[in-house]
């Protein structure tokens, strides 16, 4: 079956080269697409673009002549191509030999799509004014409204600082033209688009003018790589990373952003000589932890410096350029292009499928039909049989039930990944990067294809030679480390692994082998996407989810774009291939958002830190203080530039609210407030009742419950089963229990005992977690075939809005939904019923669509927190719900029960105290609050009128209560009741609409006030209070001795390090003990075994650890008393002792092979911690010198020296 893997997916129709239009104003670029050809000839060429072996068909000169002869302007060419592609987009089955991928290739490389026009999205910028108003499209972000046209005109070649052996792209010419005019530029483009050309030109300009230039990168490894590239190109290049310093007086210095910030705080002479600063990967400024370093350094650099910012595509590039212009009072242009030199095709491989599906073609079009086919192969068989879907009720938009990942059993046959990789290789679509989102998963995936041999005999020999030469400098003992010994056989087969847990020198060897095409398939984590330009032809994703340190979530559009951008090598490939292996059903909108969504915006991650505050306070310049830094931050700029728009919005909302007149408004407002108060009381009670510890034992099959998801009432349903939500702690506990039960070791009695203990642990995890971690499968009445009705309703609403605009009216003033979300449906009692839109294909509650073409009883996954009511009733549920009539029969019987009980007061509900036995401190108060709220509603004069008409139940039938009977009758009393209710409902709708507008206006006005005020001023006051109480600054905020020590520490918690120094915690420790103690501050990943490990530490380590924990507790308590939000115990526990013994042994002279066996951590992770620790020890030595403590300085230096040896500090292959 594996031979047919690529033989059963839809053919990607291509009409000639995927050449997009070139909108370069003033560039004089003509279109080189062959758009003038007929659709039929283009489609024929598309099928011949690649031979069966996957190699490019040579482009003939006649092709070029035909393209040139087409003579179409850019817009006509693009339109012609679209027409051709539509005509050729027939769904043709692919050939069984797998040539469909070949047929999908364009016949030639696409010409540049230079959306980097002088501004059209390209070089458009923002004004230097604080409001950030954008200038005309053909202008850069400039100071004081002045502008220059970005026409890409360059000086003659003999005057250029650097020339290139190839023709520059229009966006590169424009960016270089900005540099020639001594103006800053932000270049925002996709991976491999050629942004580095601009950075190299800036360096060449600086060297030619005898000026200094700084090149910053996010990480040390990238700095090492970039140093090697620039040194080979320019020669006069140095490197400063903290670990390594080479030629610090060179004209071009490569460094991490943290090093630049430290130089600025210390007033380095080097900075005063700098003309250009290049920020590579500047989009990492949005990183929550380290992004603030970018902002600090940009703020502190002098106005005389010019900048080159290199970034992935960001939607708010103009805003960032506007901030730079406003901050430094000089022009900053934006050169922005969405153009990909090599277009991408995005395929999806559903788990267990027999083929792949083209989801997004090379023109960026989403193929809905193929997506539907792909998801059809993933339908969970049980859920499908019961009418279920992948949509989860109560879990938020775009959520999937993820109840079961489909991992079909293939016996001892090849895995899905093996089949996909093998077929990619057979079609010649290598090199391949396979992305996974964890280190261990990366290694497991690599072992799945370990039997494949992808290299020739000569390549094996070269791989071994390079490998051994690179490791020749290591000690013999280090060369025998398991990671080194085990990796070489894989490398010789053309298979590589790259993740943060590898030894650094191994990662560099693998990068070199991959760049030289010796590695055919590289298994990597997403960190590889941040490295230097090392593209492949194909990128494979093994998962749709990642754990981000807090929760498991879907990858974002920006993350996907960054990694998938590694597919397609410029000048070598006609297009890049991206294959997404999907193990579970996904929502269409979710997938579209990831594959076709915009990149993540560059939002500020600015936050205050004690090291920053102390360093700023120490600067003698009176114009530089913490508030000045905050006022200049991108965070503050983003907040303030929205003020004019928000003011206008608040005024519009107020005027709209004032225009709504309601009879008896005061009375209606009071009633609405009572209704809302009752809803809040009911929500508070429900939060207690639906806690898993209280509710799960009542979720037996057949239990009748009511489901309310936010404002959407799904009506009554029947419980079928419940389970832990995928990705939750409870689900992980269940998986662990299953793994324990599956072990077949030890005596039978022990196995049973072990399995029982694991099951109990899993059950406890379910009951102790939040309600959102429990999913209940509930049989609900759903409307079928209503999407067409919704589409018609939306079309009618759009037409009405257009008619209103034509008449000069505000379209939001009519009946129906408006832009403010103020118009909502109401229940019979005036509470909000509907304010939701449903994703395409998602189930709809029948109660909301009584006129649906048909209805179906479906089993839907519902988050426990969306279960509104638990009744005392249980109905019989058959074990087999596959038959539609079996599911319908259950709801029919439920309807009969409801009709019988309605006259008697409705379905009997479980009493939280008497029936459920809940013993909760807040239960009595919640019950009383609900009782009082209900009494207040019933006592209001409008209550009777608002409820005087029949409510519609979940089956779409009128209730049979007394009020309903009266209203249904043809009597005068019934007509009068209906009239009264309609009048009451009209008043409630008007008041709710008015109140919603007023609330929205009030929120906007408060946001305006917050934006005008200095962001984080309150945080600054609280942090300054902490510094005073700990003695770092005096009442006048003058930095004291302790503050000078904290200024030197930026690798770990500066306050805690300072307290330990001044308390004499290091005085009686040896250098090895000192290093071990400080490892607690840099071992960021706290292990679940830390507590047990701390108890088993030897006395020489356990004693210092307790001293550290007490100091941490004091610092946390002072912070808490000063108003800082902090959990004292959590702060103390964050000091992880997991590597204390490892570091102590290493500092005592043990071999790395010995210390690596002391922990479960990867070897590369151990080295990363030791290197960070060595950097911290150097900073502490500087701090000791700053206060004149020579003995302590010597101890820290001795500890640092003990760290720096052997493989841990092996020299980089790039230096």
Distance CA 1034, CA 1098 (A): 40
3-state secondary structure 418-463: HHHHHHHHHCCCCCEEEECCCHHHHHHHHHHCCCCCCCCHHHHHHH
Residue 417 CA neighbour count, 13 Å, CB half: 26
Cβ proximity of 927 and 869 under 8 Å: no
Dump pLDDT digits (tens) for 618-674. 887 766 788 889 989 998 898 888 888 889 999 999 999 999 998 889 999 999 999
Residue 1172 CA neighbour count, 13 Å, CB half: 19
pLDDT of residue 1048: 93
For the chain, the residue count is 1215
Residue 84 pLDDT exceeds 50: no
- Scanning 868-971, the segments in alpha helix (DSSP H) are 884-901, 923-939, 942-946, 962-968
pLDDT of residue 481: 94
CA 154 to chain centre: 40
Helices 1140-1147 and 1163-1186: crossing angle in degrees, nearest 10, is: 70
Cβ proximity of 187 and 282 under 8 Å: no
Give the residue carrying structure tokens 């115990």: 1129
Residue 64 pLDDT exceeds 50: no
Structural tokens at position 51: 């031979």
pLDDT of residue 48: 28
pLDDT of residue 150: 54
Give the residue carrying structure tokens 């910028």: 125
Cβ proximity of 65 and 158 under 8 Å: no
| pLDDT band of 885, cuts 50, 70, 90 | confident
Residue 18 CA neighbour count, 13 Å, CB half: 25
pLDDT of residue 1199: 96
* DSSP state at residue 500: T
Cβ proximity of 711 and 824 under 8 Å: yes
Dump pLDDT digits (tens) for 805-836. 555 554 444 433 344 433 333 344 333 333 34
Dump pLDDT digits (tens) for 104-125. 333 222 333 333 333 333 333 3
At residue 29, φ and ψ (nearest 5 deg) are -80, 130
Dump pLDDT digits (tens) for 1004-1016. 998 888 777 777 8
CA angle 652, 653, 659 (to 5 degrees): 90
Nearest of 431, 393, 438, 388 to residue 577 by alpha carbon: 431
* DSSP state at residue 283: G
- What is the enclosing helix (H) or strand (E) of 859? strand 854-863
pLDDT of residue 182: 93
pLDDT of residue 104: 36
Dump pLDDT digits (tens) for 317-374. 999 999 999 999 999 999 988 888 899 999 999 988 888 999 999 988 999 889 988 8
User: Which residues touch 729 (CB under 8 Å, ≥6 apart)?
Assistant: 765, 769, 773
Distance CA 396, CA 376 (A): 23
For residues 721-735, average pLDDT: 68
What proportion of the chain, given as a percentage, has pLDDT over 70? 73
pLDDT of residue 530: 73
Give the residue carrying structure tokens 């100091």: 1111
Helices 317-328 and 291-300: crossing angle in degrees, nearest 10, is: 30
For residues 681-696, average pLDDT: 89
| pLDDT band of 747, cuts 50, 70, 90 | low
Global pTM value: 0.70
Structural tokens at position 582: 């999907």
Q: For residue 877, what are the CA distances in angstroms to 601, 723, 779, 887, 954?
A: 50, 18, 10, 9, 19
Please tell me whether the peptide bond between 430 and the residue prior to it is cis, using omega within 30 degrees of 0. Answer: no
Neighbours of 37 (CB within 10 A): 23
Distance CA 252, CA 5 (A): 51
Distance CA 552, CA 817 (A): 34
Structural tokens at position 198: 């601009």
User: Which residues touch 718 (CB under 8 Å, ≥6 apart)?
Assistant: 702, 703, 704, 705, 778, 779, 875, 877, 890, 891, 894
303/72: higher pLDDT = 303
For residues 935-948, average pLDDT: 80
In DSSP notation, 664-692 reads THHHHHHHHHHHHHHHHHHHHHHHHHTSH
Strand partners, 704: 718
Distance CA 752, CA 743 (A): 10
Cβ proximity of 859 and 720 under 8 Å: yes
In DSSP notation, 91-111 reads -PBPPTTSTHHHHTS-SSPPP
- Tell how many helices (H) and how many strands (E) occur in the chain: 46, 25
Cβ proximity of 525 and 1164 under 8 Å: no
At residue 858, φ and ψ (nearest 5 deg) are -125, 145
Distance CA 80, CA 64 (A): 18
| pLDDT band of 587, cuts 50, 70, 90 | confident
Distance CA 238, CA 1110 (A): 43
**772-810 CB burial, b ≥16 within 10 A, e <16:** bbbbbbbbbbbbbebeeeeeeeeeebeeebeeeeeeeee
pLDDT of residue 185: 96
For residues 717-742, average pLDDT: 68
Nearest of 608, 616, 618 to residue 1041 by alpha carbon: 618
Cβ proximity of 877 and 938 under 8 Å: no
Cβ proximity of 250 and 238 under 8 Å: yes
- Scanning 20-125, the segments in alpha helix (DSSP H) are 39-47, 61-70, 74-87, 100-103
Q: For residue 824, what are the CA distances in angstroms to 595, 649, 861, 951?
A: 33, 21, 26, 17
């Amino acid at each position: 079956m594996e031979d047919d893997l690529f033989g059963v997916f839809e053919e990607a129709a291509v009409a000639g080269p995927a050449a997009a239009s070139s909108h370069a104003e003033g560039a004089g670029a003509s279109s080189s697409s062959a758009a003038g050809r007929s659709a039929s000839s283009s489609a024929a060429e598309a099928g011949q673009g690649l031979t069966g072996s996957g190699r490019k068909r040579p482009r003939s000169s006649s092709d070029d002549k035909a393209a040139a002869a087409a003579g179409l302007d850019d817009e006509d060419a693009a339109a012609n191509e679209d027409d051709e592609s539509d005509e050729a987009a027939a769904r043709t089955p692919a050939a069984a030999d797998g040539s469909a991928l070949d047929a999908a290739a364009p016949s030639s490389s696409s010409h540049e799509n230079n959306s980097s026009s002088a501004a059209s999205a390209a070089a458009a910028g923002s004004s230097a004014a604080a409001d950030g108003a954008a200038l005309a499209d053909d202008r850069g972000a400039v100071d004081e409204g002045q502008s220059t046209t970005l026409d890409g005109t360059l000086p003659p070649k003999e005057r250029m600082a650097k020339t290139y052996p190839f023709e520059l792209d229009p966006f590169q010419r424009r960016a270089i033209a900005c540099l020639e005019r001594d103006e800053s530029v932000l270049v925002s483009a996709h991976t491999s688009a050629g942004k580095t050309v601009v950075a190299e030109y800036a360096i060449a300009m600086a060297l030619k003018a005898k000026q200094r230039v700084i090149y910053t990168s996010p990480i040390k490894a990238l700095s090492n790589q970039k140093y090697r590239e620039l040194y080979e190109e320019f020669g006069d290049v140095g490197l400063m990373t903290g670990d390594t310093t080479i030629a610090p007086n060179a004209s071009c210095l490569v460094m991490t952003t943290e090093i630049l910030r430290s130089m600025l705080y210390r007033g380095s002479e080097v900075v005063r000589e700098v003309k250009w600063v290049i920020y590579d990967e500047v989009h990492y400024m949005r990183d929550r932890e380290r992004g603030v370093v970018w902002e600090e350094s940009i703020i502190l650099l002098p106005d005389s410096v010019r900048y080159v910012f290199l970034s992935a595509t960001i939607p708010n590039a103009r805003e960032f350029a506007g901030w730079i212009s406003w901050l430094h009072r000089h022009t900053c242009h934006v050169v922005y292009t969405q153009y990909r030199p090599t277009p991408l095709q995005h395929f999806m491989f559903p788990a267990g499928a027999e083929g792949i599906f083209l989801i997004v073609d090379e023109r960026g079009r989403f193929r809905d039909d193929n997506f539907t086919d792909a998801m059809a192969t993933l339908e969970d068989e049980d859920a499908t049989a019961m009418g279920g879907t992948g949509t989860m009720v109560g879990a938020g938009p775009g959520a999937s039930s993820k109840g079961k990942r489909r991992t079909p059993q293939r016996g001892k046959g090849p895995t899905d990944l093996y089949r996909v990789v093998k077929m990619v290789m057979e079609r010649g679509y290598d090199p391949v990067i396979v992305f996974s989102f964890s280190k261990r998963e990366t290694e497991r995936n690599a072992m799945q294809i370990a039997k494949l041999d992808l290299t020739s005999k000569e390549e094996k020999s070269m791989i071994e030679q390079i490998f051994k030469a690179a490791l020749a400098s290591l000690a013999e003992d280090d060369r025998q480390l398991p990671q080194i010994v085990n990796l070489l056989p894989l490398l010789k087969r053309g298979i590589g692994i790259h993740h943060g847990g590898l030894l650094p020198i191994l990662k560099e060897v693998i990068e070199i082998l991959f760049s030289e095409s010796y590695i055919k398939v590289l298994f990597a984590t997403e960190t590889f996407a941040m490295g230097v330009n090392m593209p492949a032809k194909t990128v494979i994703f093994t998962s749709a989810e990642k754990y981000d340190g807090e929760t498991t979530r879907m990858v974002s559009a920006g993350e996907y774009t960054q990694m998938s951008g590694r597919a397609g090598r410029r000048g070598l490939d006609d297009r890049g291939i991206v294959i997404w292996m999907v193990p579970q059903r996904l929502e269409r909108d979710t997938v579209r958002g990831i594959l076709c969504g915009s990149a993540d915006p560059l939002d500020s991650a600015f936050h205050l830190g004690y090291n920053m505050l102390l360093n700023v306070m120490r600067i003698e310049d009176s114009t530089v203080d913490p508030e000045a830094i905050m006022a200049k931050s991108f965070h503050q700029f983003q907040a303030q530039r929205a003020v004019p728009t928000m003011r206008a919005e608040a005024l519009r909302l107020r005027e709209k609210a004032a225009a709504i007149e309601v009879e008896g408004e005061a009375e209606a407002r009071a009633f609405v407030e009572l209704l809302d108060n009752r809803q809040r009381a009911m929500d508070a009670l429900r939060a207690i009742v639906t806690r898993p510890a209280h509710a799960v034992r009542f979720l037996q099959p057949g239990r009748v419950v009511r489901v309310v998801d936010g404002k959407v009432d799904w009506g009554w349903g029947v419980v079928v089963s419940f389970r832990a939500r995928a990705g939750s702690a409870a689900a992980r506990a269940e998986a662990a229990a299953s793994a324990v039960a599956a072990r077949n070791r030890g005596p039978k009695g022990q196995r049973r005992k072990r399995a029982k203990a694991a099951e109990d642990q899993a059950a406890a995890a379910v009951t102790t977690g939040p309600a959102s971690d429990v999913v209940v499968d509930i049989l609900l009445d759903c409307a079928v075939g209503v999407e067409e009705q919704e589409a018609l309703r939306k079309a009618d609403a759009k037409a009405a809005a257009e008619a209103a605009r034509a008449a000069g009216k505000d379209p939001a003033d009519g009946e129906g939904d408006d832009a403010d979300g103020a118009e909502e449906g109401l229940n019979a009692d005036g509470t909000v019923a509907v304010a939701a839109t449903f994703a395409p294909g998602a189930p709809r509650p029948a109660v909301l669509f009584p006129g649906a073409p048909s209805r179906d009883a479906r089993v839907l996954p519902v988050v426990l927190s969306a279960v509104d009511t638990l009744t005392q009733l249980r109905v019989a549920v058959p074990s087999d719900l596959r038959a539609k009539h079996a599911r319908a029969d259950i709801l029919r019987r439920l309807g009969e029960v409801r009709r019988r009980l309605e006259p008697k007061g409705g379905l009997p509900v479980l009493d939280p105290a008497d029936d459920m036995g809940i013993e909760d401190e807040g239960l009595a108060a919640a019950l009383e609050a609900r009782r009082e709220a209900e009494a207040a509603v019933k006592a209001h004069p409008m209550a009777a009128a608002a409820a005087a008409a029949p409510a519609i139940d979940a089956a779409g039938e009128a209730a049979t209560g007394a009020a309903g009977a009266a209203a249904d009758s043809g009597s005068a009393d019934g007509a009068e009741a209906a009239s009264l209710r309609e009048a009451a409902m009209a008043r409630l709708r008007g008041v709710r609409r008015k109140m919603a507008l007023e609330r929205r206006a009030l929120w906007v006005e408060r946001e305006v006030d917050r934006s005008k005020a200095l962001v984080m001023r309150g945080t600054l006051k609280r942090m300054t209070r902490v510094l005073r109480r700990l003695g770092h600054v005096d009442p006048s905020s003058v930095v004291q001795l302790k503050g000078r020590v904290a200024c030197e520490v930026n690798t770990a918690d500066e306050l805690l390090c300072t307290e330990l120094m001044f308390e004499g915690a290091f005085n009686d420790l040896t250098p090895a003990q000192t290093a071990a103690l400080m490892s607690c501050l840099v071992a960021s990943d706290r292990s679940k075994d830390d507590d047990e490990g701390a108890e088993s530490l030897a006395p020489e380590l356990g004693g210092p650890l307790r001293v550290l924990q007490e100091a941490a507790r004091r610092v946390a308590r002072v912070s808490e008393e000063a108003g800082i939000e902090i959990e004292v115990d959590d702060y103390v526990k964050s000091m992880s002792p997991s590597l204390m013994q490892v570091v102590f042994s290493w500092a005592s002279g043990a071999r790395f092979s010995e210390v690596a066996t002391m922990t479960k951590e990867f070897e590369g992770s151990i080295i990363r911690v030791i290197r960070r620790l060595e950097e911290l020890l150097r900073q502490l030595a500087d701090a000791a010198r700053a206060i004149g403590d020579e003995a302590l300085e010597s101890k820290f230096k001795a500890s640092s020296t003990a760290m720096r040896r052997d493989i841990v500090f092996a020299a980089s292959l790039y230096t």
